Amino acid sequence: QAFFCLLLCIPWGSSCPPSCQCTERAGAKAVLCSSQHLEEIPKDIPRDVVFLKLDANSITRIPNNAFRHLSHLEEIDLSRNAIEKIDRAAFRGVAAGLRSLDLSGNRIRSIPKEALLALNAKLRLANNPWHCECALQEVLWEARLDLDSVRDITCHTAPREEYVGKPLLQVLDAGANFCSVRQRTTDVAMFVTMFAWFAMVIVYVICYVRHNREDSCRHGDYLRSLPSGQAHAE
């Protein structure tokens, strides 16, 4: 009877993942899963966790709703993994309360801005093979980046060769604007579409006029071929 009472008294979500250590830090629950060769985020993380360390593993992706059930979460350390893909809703459910998110030292080339701009957390994005583009530029300007790590956000690839290997902040300070490149591309596409539509209208008008002219000519030839009295009657 005492055993069953003990089971009922244990709160749901209080178990600890097998590869992790659950402890307390500053009076709050911390789950430490560093260097455990994890390839994905554990599914059985306690719901009342506040500090979550998943650094130095082999995690490759952060799927949608990966932390949604962890409503008390304030800090996530995902540094030094092999993360290549972050889904748009990866941090849904924890965006408001999250104070720190470390994604440094991964394999991230691009990231949907929606995944990060909704966060209030301080971000660390350094030492990733970034492709410098508009979404990354918007994250740099609008998200709460850790100031000490901003200079280590480097262009691994870029639309122009002279930007490769340079810190993104330096490239932007030099006057580059990756978002204006996208805008120009959009403008060109719109211009081409409008030109094609205008050309179709012109071709239609020309064909219509030519068709009417041919009909008039055929009718004139027909009238001229009739006897003069019958032609006047018509």
pLDDT at residue 206, rounded to an integer: 72
pLDDT at residue 204, rounded to an integer: 63
pLDDT at residue 103, rounded to an integer: 98
**Residue 47 and residue 36: Cα distance in Å, rounded?**
20
How are beta strands 28-32 and 21-25 bridged, if at all? antiparallel
pLDDT over 90 percentage in the chain: 66
pLDDT at residue 42, rounded to an integer: 95
Q: Once rounded to an integer, what is the mean pLDDT over residues 153-160? A: 96
pLDDT at residue 189, rounded to an integer: 42
pLDDT of 205 above 80: no
Q: Taking the CA of residue 150 as centre, how many other CA atoms within 13 Å lie in the half-sphere pointing to its CB? A: 17
Q: What share of residues in the chain are helix, strand, coil (percent, to 5)?
A: 40, 15, 45
Domains and CATH numbers, the chain: 21-178 (3.80.10.10)
Q: 51 vs 17, 27, 163, CA distance in Å?
A: 14, 11, 37
Residue 201 pLDDT grade (very low, low, confident, very high; cuts 50, 70, 90): low
